[in-house]
Amino acid sequence: MTGSAWRTWQELMRSDLPLNRTSRESLATLAIWRMGQVLHERPGVAAFALRRVHGVLDQVWTRNTIGAELPRSVVVGPGMKLPHAGRGVIVHPQARLGASVTLHHRVTIGVRNAGRPPHIADGVYLGAGAAVLGPVDLGPGCKIGANAVVVKDVPAGATVIAGPVRVLPAPGS
């Protein structure tokens, strides 16, 4: 990477490292995603060549091995946490994620109809299987529980949980 791109990548990785120390897979996913973000609109022949390398790494590791879609165009603040290496995470290419965001496995951040993608503030926690869809703003420090589907704004510090589980009787009983 070019000098400034390399320094930016190192700075982002230093912010992500403390949150992902226990998983080499998470660090690999973040290293590849951050490389793409740093190189995304960088001009020059070296950046062009490195974007090609990133494309191969993204295809082989992120998409084929981890099963995630983490576009390099996504704006993500420092301190990203990807438990389970981001397995099955899908993020819309125009989504914006703040600093210190946690994305558990199978999280979806996408659009509904033709609306804008979500904006996720600093310190937001998204549990396994959570979906944030459409022109939604998640306030700082809010928590979205496992399998919750969010289609409306969530204020700062609020917690959203999925509906209560109901046990249906077995047929014929």
**How do residues 69-102 score in pLDDT, each as one tens digit?**
999 899 899 999 999 999 999 999 999 999 999 9
Domain range 3-160, its CATH number among 2.70.70.10, 3.20.190.10, 3.40.50.720, 2.160.10.10: 2.160.10.10
Name every residue whose Cβ is closer than 8 Å to that of residue 138 and which is 6 or more positions away in sequence. Answer: 118, 119, 120, 121, 124, 132, 144, 150, 153, 154
Burial class from Cβ neighbours inside 10 Å (0-12, 13-18, 19+) for residue 106 reads buried
pLDDT confidence band for 2 (50 / 70 / 90): low
Judge if pTM exceeds 0.95: no
Residue 86 contacts residue 105 (beta carbons within 8 Å): yes
